[in-house]
Amino acid sequence: MNEVKLEQLLRQFFLEDIGDGDITCETVFPADERAAGVFAAKADGVIAGIGIIAAGYRLLDPRVEVSIMKRDGERVAAGEAIAAASGPVRALLSGERVILNLLQRLSGIATVTRQAVDLLGDSHTRICDTRKTTPGLRMLEKYAVTCGGGYNHRFGLYDGVMIKDNHIAFCGSIADAVKAVRERLGHMVKIEVETETEAEVLEAVEAGADVIMFDNRTPDEVRSFVRLVPKPIITEASGGITLANVAAYGATGVDYISLGFLTHSARALDISFDLQ
């Protein structure tokens, strides 16, 4: 996780929430009042974003001291403490909500990602995310996927080519679309092609795609498509895949399974912060 970008994000989030000042804390507590509190999980899950606690409080008041008890990627049980913080009570409580919102969101993503990874068992297939992320939180949400044992797909439109149905329709064919990209981009940029039929898979292979994605296909269809793709080409299954059927897709031999719900529908992990 990029620390500079994290600090920029936290500044924006604190400005949105605190604005000109926390009028509750500033009227209830003297400026020199100190306290200590504990962050604890209220449900079983996987932790992600634990560094946000220290980074957030460092921005608000460098006198806040943070002790970490759980690391990113570690499982946590309900009732287990994950971190402690002590220092000026105004800072502790003013930063509590932003920190908890992020920590709960990221830990929820890490938890559902770990569930998907566990369901695949020893399969060589890897779980990865998509661009279906919350605007402004992509870096953090994709980081959370890695904490859960998953992998990142492209981060944006700038770091990888994905030729989809609309691109193909405009260009006239998969071959023409891939050719147009190859003529303009260097060898460091990979080209992925979205396919739905056997004919499209074969065309993508012939065109020299680096990655071929099978979109909204059944496990049986994916299995048959995988056999058509030479080993150097990476295969990916996407669309209509859930925790209930992810193991069936993993058994097809596909290299990656991309899951949008990891980031767009993950349920936040319940975490509390209580002063002691």
Whether 142 is catalytic = no
Helix, strand, coil fractions of the chain, as percent rounded to 5: 45, 20, 35
SS3 232: coil
| Residue 32 structure tokens | 């020199």
Q: Which neighbouring-strand residues pair with 271?
A: 41
Q: How many residues does the chain have?
A: 276
State how beta strands 75-76 and 34-41 pair: unpaired
Whether 61 is catalytic = no
Catalytic residue among 96, 194, 236, 255: 194
State how beta strands 81-88 and 34-41 pair: antiparallel
Distance CA 137, CA 6 (A): 10
Whether 132 is catalytic = yes
Give how far Cα 94 sits from Cα of 61, 83, 99, 114, 207, Å. Answer: 10, 17, 10, 32, 56
Catalytic residue among 75, 97, 138, 182: 97
Host H or E run for residue 191: strand 191-195
Catalytic residue among 34, 42, 58, 164: 164
Q: Answer yes or no: are the C-beta atoms of 103 and 90 closer than 8 Å.
A: no
Angle at 95 between CA 155 and CA 109, to 5 degrees: 35
Whether 97 is catalytic = yes
Catalytic residue among 74, 215, 221, 270: 215
Whether 190 is catalytic = no
SS3 55: helix
Nearest Cα neighbor of 265 from 153, 143, 129, 148 is 129
Residues taking part in catalysis = 97, 132, 164, 194, 215
